[in-house]
């Protein structure tokens, strides 16, 4: 990445765009979902924007998909109720890897969108401590908790798909003076690296395994 920057010696031009009234554009984006594939090598965005409307059974012109480049895409809907119907079907995957799909928001962050909502089963909490606030506290460590189902020890969490998944956390339950390794089971999870738990590559392309093979491990890790 940095190499490209070095090769490209042309001076960077800064373009100044004067203020203009974009409220009509913003209004039209009210029925837009925006998304990103997590593993562009395995997920062709052109195929995704063609196939997703068929999967959603909205291929009769009710939604139009566009490839935005760099792994991003958008879907413009005609009807609000179709958006709700689609969002009900989360968590999203394509070609066996994860996809982030969110309602459009005026965000200029470079990695937007990267949010993925998962239902996560939390395994290992003693049954007599199954309470909303315990699951919420654990869920907060892996993302932003949206819902808690304490009957089934599950939390719905928005995670940042650009960060590695967390599969276990040591928890100290002071009330019973026990330390437990609590495990997370993600529903509808496809495609992640078994070495570093990233959603963006498989273990054969893992930068962490490369560095091990090249003998570049840092001394303080030994
Ligand atoms: Zn990896």
Is the pLDDT at 2 greater than 70, yes or no? Answer: no
Which residue is it, tokens 């599969």? Answer: 167
The distance of Cα 120 from the centroid of its chain, to the nearest Å, equals 14
Report how far ligand 1's centroid is from the alpha carbon of 184 (Å): 18
Q: What is the pLDDT of residue 217?
A: 39
Report how far ligand 1's centroid is from the alpha carbon of 163 (Å): 11
pLDDT tens for each residue of 59-90: 888 999 999 999 999 999 999 999 999 999 99
Is the pLDDT at 91 greater than 60, yes or no? Answer: yes
Q: What is the pLDDT of residue 210?
A: 62
Report how far ligand 1's centroid is from the alpha carbon of 130 (Å): 33
Report how far ligand 1's centroid is from the alpha carbon of 200 (Å): 8
CATH number of 115-191: 3.30.70
Q: Can you tell me the distance from the alpha carbon of 175 to that of 137, in angstroms, rounded to the nearest whole number?
A: 15
How wide is the angle at C-alpha 121 spanned by C-alphas 119 and 124, nearest 5°? 160
Return the domain boundaries, the chain.
27-113, 115-191
Q: Can you tell me the distance from the alpha carbon of 92 to that of 94, in angstroms, rounded to the nearest whole number?
A: 7
Burial class (CB in 10 A: 0-12, 13-18, 19+), 183: middle
Q: What is the pLDDT of residue 105?
A: 85
Q: Residue 149, SS3?
A: strand
Report how far ligand 1's centroid is from the alpha carbon of 41 (Å): 14
Report how far ligand 1's centroid is from the alpha carbon of 121 (Å): 23
Read off the tokens for 88: 């009900």
CB 124 within 8 A of CB 181: yes
Task: Please indicate whether the domains covering 27-113 and 115-191 agree at the CATH topology level.
Answer: yes
CATH number of 27-113: 3.30.70.330
Report how far ligand 1's centroid is from the alpha carbon of 199 (Å): 8
Report how far ligand 1's centroid is from the alpha carbon of 40 (Å): 15
Burial class (CB in 10 A: 0-12, 13-18, 19+), 202: middle
Report how far ligand 1's centroid is from the alpha carbon of 148 (Å): 30
Q: Can you tell me the distance from the alpha carbon of 162 to that of 174, in angstroms, rounded to the nearest whole number?
A: 33
Q: What is the pLDDT of residue 9?
A: 65
pLDDT tens for each residue of 118-134: 999 999 999 999 999 99
Report how far ligand 1's centroid is from the alpha carbon of 38 (Å): 13
Report how far ligand 1's centroid is from the alpha carbon of 24 (Å): 43
Predicted TM-score (pTM) above 0.85: no
Q: What is the pLDDT of residue 218?
A: 41
Read off the tokens for 115: 């949010």
Which residue is it, tokens 């609590």? Answer: 182
Confidence of residue 186 (pLDDT cuts 50, 70, 90): very high
């Amino acid at each position: 990445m940095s190499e490209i920057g070095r090769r490209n010696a042309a001076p960077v031009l800064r373009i100044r765009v004067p203020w203009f009234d974009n409220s009509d554009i913003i209004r039209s984006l009210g029925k837009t979902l925006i998304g990103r594939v997590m593993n562009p090598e395995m997920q062709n965005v052109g195929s995704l924007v063609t196939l997703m409307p068929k999967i959603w059974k909205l291929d009769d012109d009710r939604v139009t998909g566009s490839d935005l480049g760099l792994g991003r895409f958008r879907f413009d809907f005609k009807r609000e109720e179709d958006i709700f119907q689609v969002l009900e079907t989360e968590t999203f995957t394509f070609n066996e890897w994860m996809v982030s799909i969110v309602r459009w928001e005026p965000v200029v962050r470079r990695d937007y969108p990267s949010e993925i909502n998962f239902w996560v089963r939390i395994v290992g909490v003693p049954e007599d401590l199954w309470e909303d606030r315990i699951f919420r506290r654990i869920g907060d460590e892996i993302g932003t908790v949206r819902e808690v189902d304490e009957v089934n020890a599950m939390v719905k969490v928005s995670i940042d798909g650009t960060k590695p998944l967390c599969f276990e956390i040591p928890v100290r339950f002071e009330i019973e003076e026990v330390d437990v390794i609590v495990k997370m089971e993600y529903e509808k999870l496809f495609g992640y690296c078994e070495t570093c738990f990233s959603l963006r590559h498989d273990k054969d392309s893992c930068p962490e395994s490369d560095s091990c093979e090249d003998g570049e491990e840092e001394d303080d890790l030994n």
